Structure 1
Amino acid sequence: MKALVFHGSGQRSWQDVPDPGIEDAGDAVVRVDAVTICGTDLHIMKGDVPEVRPGTVLGHEAVGEVVETGADVRSVRPGDRVLVSCISACGRCRFCRENRFGQCLGGGGWILGHLIDGTQAEYVRVPFADLSVHPLPGSVSSEDAVLLADIFPTGHEVGVLSGRVGPGDTVAVVGAGPVGLATIATARLYTPGRVIAVDTAPSRLEAARAVGADVTVGADEDPEALVADLTGGLGADVVVEAVGVPETFELCTRMVRPGGRVANVGVHGKPVALHLESLWSKDLTITTGLVDTYSIPLLLEMMAAGRLPAVPSLVTHRFTPSQMEEAYDVFSRAADTGALKVVVGAPTHDVVSLPAQERAA
């Protein structure tokens, strides 16, 4: 089969590799019909994730059809159309029993495209299939469903639920990339009073409005002052950090009200200052986390019911598998290409890239 293989920092290729097979009784082999690229894949390509060995097939998000299952798999069978979660869960360890699948001690967690071969391939072996793949309703398209493998549960769980977004809250989301946009979309499910999006790129602020932001502001337009004006000087009830750099985290801690919540979603590669000299008296809650994906079944139900209408607007580029290298190039140059999420699908899907002017229309 063909797969996107990591060969070390800055090196990758779409090449022939052996087909995967069942290695454990809990495995499933899935034929990949749609897959996407994550910002974490770009971190791997830069050499920022040293656990990923050269020769590893990248990717941890996919939709496809089950072609083979191990003897212990009970929840799916060959022929089922499924969503492959970015997180695998053994279901037996302490953390899995607490729905903290990202912290799995039994061989799961984030392993696809990280510690074992991933989803950017024609076929993928998925361990712990009973908890790690999800049957798809016929009404949900593959393109929509693949966004529920990572970015939507990440924004929902690590941003919205950890931040305890509730009715009437003022919510500020700093960073309107894919996960920030998913945070905005899922925050709307909890009837906040207003959602404010902050970003440097006008195109992403436009996307934020499309998925439900009430107010948008450029990072160079004094978002702190805007939040203060909108809240009578109090600050936002919930601020979500969805960038992953020190400056944006510190901005979040300045925009939150006393007694409020800061939910960090961004992946930080550098130390961040925690200014306890000014924060110690504010009674803040600061949360961090890796997605657990326990909310995928709920999000699938909401999508099937039409309660996540913002999903299609997040896919800006579409490619065939033979264009995987081009897809990486477009996604890695998002500032120039306007890419939010790219979807790589089977050739029979008749997928194409959308020019920026058509997306804007």
Structure 2
Amino acid sequence: MAANGSLMQALVYHGPGRKAWETVPKPIVEHDTDAVVKVDTVTICGTDLHILKGDVAAVTDGRILGHEAVGTVETVGSGVKNVKVGDRVLVSCITACGACRYCREGSYGQCIGGGGWILGHKIDGTQAEYVRVPFADTSTYAVPEGVTDEEVLMLADIGPTGYEVGVLNGRVRPGDVVAVVGAGPVGLSAIMGAKLFSPAHVVAIDLADARLEAAKQFGADITVNPSREDAVAIVRDLTQGLGADVAIEAVGVAPTFEQCAALVRPGGTVANVGVHGGPATLHLEELWIKNVTITTGLVDTYSTPTLLRLLATHHIDLARFVTHRFAMGEFIDAYDTFARAADTGALKVVLTS
């Protein structure tokens, strides 16, 4: 159903395991720094699946889900200076006020001025025909000429997440052995980002053979299915018994975090990217003496301009992330396909208006 007057269609969360594509009020400009964007292309994130499991308590009944979109600006507030009606923009998963302590440091994910991860979390999100974007000047990015909506959409979340929280936090350097545990979209993004630093080996570890095949396409030169192979032994064989220089956790469950801790070498780094809904055991009795660094983080999206330049100059290929396409009104089918990725082979599903 197309938006009609003050109404639109959106994907609405109604508590753990419950969602619906339904009619809701169309957003309006509420603050002078807002923009209302017509959503042209949108996707579903693994974090949305965590929300539907009930892992994110801040998401309440009635919330429109989603935090990634490419669209066309329909309306702007009087305080918006750099974004104008008709602009084609990337709506970032992170909203930045641009003025608080954290935003001034480039830590937009920790914004205390009303931003951070709020879309589809604390305010209504992007899985809708229209979305209100607060702080439009600092929370949207102009889409470069010559690239598709689908390609740019991959930089709303997974691109900068894998790159910043995995590769940059993990301090990947030339010649490193990098183990990526979880070859879903964020893990694949981390593999792609790691390749920019000329590692000696990138090892992808996943229980799904289809995702390991995808990992090869994104640059992994070694793949391991831990249901059949000993990942720790394979990584140690590559590293004279030491372990990975960087182990990137890209799933968000306790066993994969603990596996990363077992994979990393003395003096190495475990970079946790996955969204965890429960505790994991930290074996400090083994790690303290090994000088292991553990990093965690929500994406800040400070790398988005860099990644947009790399995309525009064809140094990264983001189109290969998209495996399934749907019309905007087919959200329920799209969620089903994405949630059953092991069966469907889905990496990223894209919905287009």
| Distance (whole Å) between structure 1 residues aligned to residue 33 and residue 288 of structure 2 | 48
* From 18, 27, 32, the counterpart of 1:11: 18
1:285 aligns with 2:278: no
Match of 1:55 in 2: 62
Match of 1:28 in 2: 35
8 Å CA contact retained: 2:324, 2:348 = yes
| Distance (whole Å) between structure 2 residues aligned to residue 92 and residue 12 of structure 1 | 35
Task: Give deviations 1:52-95, integer Å, cap 9, x for gaps.
Answer: 12111110000001111111111211111000000101111111
Q: Match for 1:266: what amino acid?
A: G
Q: SS of the residue aligned with 2:290?
A: coil
Q: Match for 2:308: what amino acid?
A: L
| Distance (whole Å) between structure 2 residues aligned to residue 81 and residue 295 of structure 1 | 20
1:308 aligns with 2:316: yes
8 Å CA contact retained: 1:30, 1:123 = yes
| Distance (whole Å) between structure 1 residues aligned to residue 44 and residue 17 of structure 2 | 15
| Distance (whole Å) between structure 1 residues aligned to residue 265 and residue 18 of structure 2 | 45
Q: SS of the residue aligned with 2:270?
A: strand
Match of 2:184 in 1: 177
1:266 aligns with 2:274: yes
8 Å CA contact retained: 1:207, 1:313 = no
Correspondence 1:219-258 to 2 at 5 A: 219-220=226-227, 221-258=229-266
| Distance (whole Å) between structure 1 residues aligned to residue 215 and residue 262 of structure 2 | 22
8 Å CA contact retained: 2:50, 2:277 = no
* From 77, 100, 107, the counterpart of 1:93: 100
| Distance (whole Å) between structure 1 residues aligned to residue 329 and residue 252 of structure 2 | 32
Match of 2:4 in 1: none
Q: Match for 2:349: what amino acid?
A: V
| Distance (whole Å) between structure 2 residues aligned to residue 264 and residue 38 of structure 1 | 17
Runs of at least 5 residues in structure 1 that lack an aligned partner in the other structure: 347-361
Match of 2:324 in 1: 317
Offset of residue 28 of structure 1: 0.7
The aligned length equals 345
| Distance (whole Å) between structure 2 residues aligned to residue 76 and residue 247 of structure 1 | 44
Offset of residue 211 of structure 1: 0.5
Match of 2:52 in 1: 45
Q: Percent identity?
A: 63
Match of 1:84 in 2: 91
| Distance (whole Å) between structure 2 residues aligned to residue 6 and residue 272 of structure 1 | 27
Match of 2:5 in 1: none
Offset of residue 110 of structure 1: 0.7
Offset of residue 238 of structure 1: 0.7
Q: Match for 1:248: what amino acid?
A: T
Output the aligned Cα RMSD: 0.9
Offset of residue 335 of structure 1: 1.7
* From 143, 155, 160, the counterpart of 2:167: 160
Q: Match for 1:32: what amino acid?
A: V
| Distance (whole Å) between structure 2 residues aligned to residue 178 and residue 217 of structure 1 | 17
Correspondence 1:98-177 to 2 at 5 A: 98-177=105-184
8 Å CA contact retained: 1:245, 1:270 = yes
Correspondence 1:195-234 to 2 at 5 A: 195-220=202-227, 221-234=229-242
Q: After TM superposition, which residue ranges in structure 1, 4 or more long, deviate above 3 angstroms? A: none
Q: SS of the residue aligned with 1:326?
A: helix
Match of 1:359 in 2: none
* From 286, 307, 317, the counterpart of 1:299: 307
Task: Give deviations 1:121-142, integer Å, cap 9, x for gaps.
Answer: 1110000111100000121100
Q: Match for 1:64: what amino acid?
A: G
Offset of residue 249 of structure 1: 1.2
| Distance (whole Å) between structure 2 residues aligned to residue 173 and residue 337 of structure 1 | 22
| Distance (whole Å) between structure 2 residues aligned to residue 7 and residue 241 of structure 1 | 30
1:327 aligns with 2:334: yes
Task: Give deviations 1:212-255, integer Å, cap 9, x for gaps.
Answer: 11111112210111101111111111110111122111111111
Q: Larger deviation: 317-326 or 264-273?
A: 264-273
Offset of residue 271 of structure 1: 1.4
| Distance (whole Å) between structure 1 residues aligned to residue 22 and residue 191 of structure 2 | 37
Q: SS of the residue aligned with 1:290?
A: coil
Q: Match for 1:61: what amino acid?
A: E
* From 244, 251, 275, the counterpart of 2:283: 275
Q: SS of the residue aligned with 1:17?
A: strand
